[in-house]
Amino acid sequence: MVRRARALAAGAASVLTTRRHALPPAVDRALDAVKWARAPWTADPGAVPTLVSPRSGRPARVLLGPANFAGQGLAWAAALDRSGVPAVAWAFTADPRFRHGADHTAPLAVVHRASRAYQQRVFDAVVAGVEAVVIEAGRPLFGRLHGFDPVAEARALQARGVRVALLWHGTDVRVPSRHAATHQASPFRAGPGGDPRTRALESVALRNRRRASGFDGPVLISTPDLLPGWPGARWCPVVVDADAWASDAPVLERAVPRVVFAPSNGVLKGADLVGRALAPLVAEGLVERRVVAGVPAEEVRALYRDADVVLDQFRLGIYGVAACEAMAAGRLVVSHVDAQVRAEVRAATGRDLPVLESAGDALGGTLRTVLADRDTARATAAAGPALVAELHDGRRSAAVLREVLLDG
């Protein structure tokens, strides 16, 4: 009887997870309130998180948070600092394995379970301390204070004279059903290789889009594939530390080139396609394969800097932080990147994106072509650091953030 009750409860929770976007907004907010009201309480964290940039020592003008996916919140804050605008990044996370460094980090449960009085103190400190806030990925900065609703938070901040932008990273607003309708290799299609989280991701994206539709302010996106589906949005490019990834190791001079694949998510990046493509090449002794997952960032950096070829992704049609890191290292990056994304890069820089195009089912043939024409492949790899220096070193991102938050 108890087991059946638990199964029914789990089933109900699963249905709610995949249908949250279809609930009336008031019911949606109420469910969040009930969830956290029933959670065990913890002591208030005490001091309000820092609003002073540790890089300049100056009071922050801009606050970014609380997602910090792939460390990008911190990277954008640091880019603003370098441009002369002190900024801080906060990060709240449920899983410490993915807690990238930020100026302030806290477990999500601690933030959400803190008292309303504490959350009000944090809100008042932000209003008094900064000119602008960037809310990432549809995640609340102030817990239950505004019903766990980031757009309600944005309105409350705007009412107190703070400028606010919403920033989306990708999966938080990329609607799987729409992606599957336009991409043959989409990970959101049913069948082998499909993402088991598709229904949940669909609900998250639609829920975030519904909330954002009521927001009166600038919208930023970190990956240009989202631009066609969000009129008026601005591209705030991801930022990488090019110097940290730079490498003087030669490219494609080994008799047997080293091919590296280090996906952050194997399903989304097409690990099955990569496996099928590399197996015969390895069996023939044509390439050396290095495939890793779940390893520390420093290990990935060492792998990239000594690779000949870095495989990025073959299902989404985008490029992101990993591809930029590999380009900064001067490696040949092979990936499937949509024509629309490549056009956005060309429009922004006047340069072609130096990522060798390949569909996943054509990857084996693409790599054989690379081996047959290494000079052309080396030229593509050599163009990577310059593209990263122009578009992904933080200057472009800081300019966009300053324009939408401070210069208007």
pLDDT in tens, 319-370: 999 999 999 999 999 999 999 999 999 999 999 999 999 999 999 999 999 9
CB atoms within 10 A of CB 23: 16
Q: Which range is least confidently modeled, 84-98, 308-322, 329-343, 389-403? A: 84-98
Which residues sit opposite 168 in a β-bridge? 221
Q: Which range is least confidently modeled, 9-23, 192-206, 298-312? A: 9-23
**Whole-number pLDDT of residue 24:** 66
Higher pLDDT, 168 or 22: 168
Please report, for the chain, the start and end positions of each structural domain, with discontinuous segments joined by +: 2-237+397-405, 242-391
Residue 169 · residue 222 · CB < 8 Å:
yes
pLDDT greater than 80 at residue 7: no
Tokens coding 35: 């969830």
Residue 344 · residue 294 · CB < 8 Å:
no
Q: State which fold the 242-391 domain adopts.
A: Rossmann fold (3.40.50)
pLDDT greater than 80 at residue 35: no
CB atoms within 10 A of CB 78: 21
pLDDT greater than 90 at residue 377: yes
Q: Which residues contact 22 (CB under 8 A, 6 or more apart)?
A: 203
pLDDT greater than 90 at residue 147: no
Tell me what the mean pLDDT of segment 302-330 comes to: 97
| Predicted model pTM | 0.89
pLDDT band at 5 (very low <50, low <70, confident <90, very high): very low
Residue 351: helix, strand or coil by DSSP?
coil
CA distances from 160 to 125, 130, 155, 219, 268 (A): 12, 11, 9, 19, 40
The secondary structure element, H or E, covering residue 282 is helix 271-283
Q: How is the beta sheet containing 104-107 ordered, strand by strand?
A: 104-107, 87-93, 62-65, 132-136, 163-168, 219-221, 234-235
- DSSP for 105-130, please give it: EEEHHHHHHS-HHHHHHHHHHHHHH-
Which residues sit opposite 312 in a β-bridge? none
